[in-house]
Amino acid sequence: MTLLERINSPADLRQLSMDDLIALAGEIRTAIVDQVSQSGGHLAPNLGVVELTIALHYVFDFAHDRLLFDVGHQCYPHKLLTGRLNMLAHLRTRQGMAGFPEPKESAYDLFSVGHAGTAISTAVGMARGDTLNNEAFDAKSNPTGRRVVSLIGDASIVNGVAMEGLNNAGTLDRQFLVVLNDNGMSISKPQGAIAQYFDRVRVNPVYSGAKTRAKHALEAIPGGGAIRSAYHRLTEALKGSNTWFEHFGLLTIGPIDGHDLPELIEFLTQVKDVDRPLVLHAKTIKGKGLEYAEKDATTFHSPAAHTYDPDSCRVEIRDGGRSFTSAFGDAMCDLMERDEQVVACTAAMPNGTGIDQVLDQFPTRAFDTGICESHAMDMMAGLAKTGLKPFFAVYSTFLQRAFDQAFQEVALQGLPVRLCLDRAGLVGGDGAVHQGFCDVAILRTLPGAVLTAAIDETSLRAALEFMRTYDTGLSAVRYPRDTVSAVLAAKPCPDFELGRARALLEHDEKPDLVVLGFGTPTIAALEAARQVAPEVRADVYDARFAKPIDTELLRRIAALGVPVVTIEDHGIQGGFGSAILEAAADLALPLRVTRLGMPDAWIAQNSRAQQLKEVGLDAASIARTLIRVAAGQEPASSAVTTVVRTGDGARERQG
């Protein structure tokens, strides 16, 4: 039995020798590398925190104490140390281990997290809650109370929410530890002045000297007592370091070696009882222990399944086909080549959004702001105000963080900022924390906003070209984390016209029903319509716009008197289908509308294909729905059917 197989809970760590702990770190790395090479997943960030995670669980008791993760894509070692080794073989699937902290899996996971910058604020909340509940650790009055630790990366700490958390953390009058995992990387290279500050810290001899002086001061702490005087000694030891965190009122120690287990355990043991907010700055290497991940931590941040040939030192990542992200990157480069007024931006996701190609080709007209979506949106507003044509490439799930800016600085001002929403809809293995389920619902509340969706590469290019020339206000195009379909590649793609749908399949005779698709599920609907023919005649339209709706098309459908099925890779509430219902009600059109989309529920991690099947958005499920709707039956799926009647409003029934 391996050391890792003997770890059923963190308590088992404390029975191991230091040599065994070091060997355990190697076993954890091997387990993660072996699994991710088969299934894909977050690789480099997890390899970088193995020793740090072991040390935290060795020193603290997180069955009682609090551990708050930031982002959470570095949680695999934590999960393996908290009894979930048996779930690793099904990583990022419904049957196995989620790729992010998940409270449903274990009490050791306090929050489901997938957005950066939140760990310090949630930790402050738990620290204040424990204090109010008389459960907070205090060396004198409550030595068995709960300690609080947050783990955050150097790229995440620049996020606005993290700054707000630090500002408030400095006011705590109790134990509170922030562990800064400083690997000099986000998914790509961190951006901004604070990232440059950390670069200087790592090479400044003043800080290495401060670490030595702090170590001597810590050695003088008598057990758990005299904490307050020890705090003053630590302050004296660090005088002259002028660390950034101390401006927030947090004592700072480090940087120390985040891969030196004995040193980590020593420092954590000494600081765990300090009765002041404190930062332990640990320097780590992203991808530690795996040569190709260390050399290219960006590529191997979250790779697909891959193989490594040690003889040739070649790594081959399994090719899943051309992605929408790659298609977008190429399209943006073409757009910027043709129009010098076009500028582009991303918030720490150059590779994930395809902006890396743009940054390489147009370095003066493309920007990476770091993990600062709100700032990026406002910066785009400023660029638009100067007459440029800004395109902001952002994951749908991260757009939520910049909605206030989309409202105040963009839509309210009537500024033409263009949003390119990658990872829209179901996202596969990343699960609920990254689902792009509400971008249409939130953006269509903004007066003047124009919302489009792409179904393949040619329609994505057409949508971007439409947005380039749309100067009236905010516009957006959404597309999934998926490969582009070639089903319509041989057909010409007409230009986007504001509020006009595109017919993909029309019958000469009156159809039995009409399908209105928004986004890539339209391709599945087209396949479903062909499957049910000729028994069911289904006309299929690519709606193209969720705002404004093609009202002329709705009037023609209403005149036919046939039912409508709307299909979208978006939440059923507030999405494209809801927009169709509202338009029909406003126009007093009698329509029977069946909406297919993501249900009012959180969809667990799995492959995107399995998730689409689960919610009834694969071709076979859509075909069954078309047959039932054409027969006048309620769908057997999670769809919602609504009848809009002229004069007597609407009623809803669950199908």
CA distance 346 to 373: 8
3-class DSSP state of 446 = coil
CA distance 430 to 86: 19
Instruction: Please report, for the chain, how many H helices and E strands are present, in that order.
Output: 24, 21
**Token pair of 2, please?**
């391996």
3-class DSSP state of 650 = strand
Expressed in angstroms, the distance from the first to the final Cα of the chain is 51
Single out the residue of 184, 451, 165 nearest to residue 297, CA to CA.
Answer: 184
Q: Which of 365, 401, 444, 502 is catalytic?
A: 401
Asked if residues 392 and 380 have their Cβ atoms less than 8 Å apart, the reply is: yes
Type and span of the H or E element at 178: strand 176-182
Return the DSSP state at 319. P
**Token pair of 158, please?**
């620049």
Q: What angle do CA 401, 172, 252 make, to 5 degrees?
A: 85
Single out the residue of 81, 43, 64 nearest to residue 130, CA to CA.
Answer: 64
Q: Which of 286, 423, 544, 547 is catalytic?
A: 286
The answer to whether residue 491 is catalytic is no
Q: How many CB atoms lie within 10 A of CB 158?
A: 26
335 beta partners: none
The answer to whether residue 510 is catalytic is no
**Token pair of 421, please?**
């929403």
Residue type at position 9: S
Strand-pair category, 450-453 with 545-547: antiparallel
Single out the residue of 378, 377, 395, 401 nearest to residue 164, CA to CA.
Answer: 401
**Token pair of 481, please?**
């984390």
Q: Which of 84, 102, 211, 373 is catalytic?
A: 373
- Active-site annotation, residues: 286, 373, 401
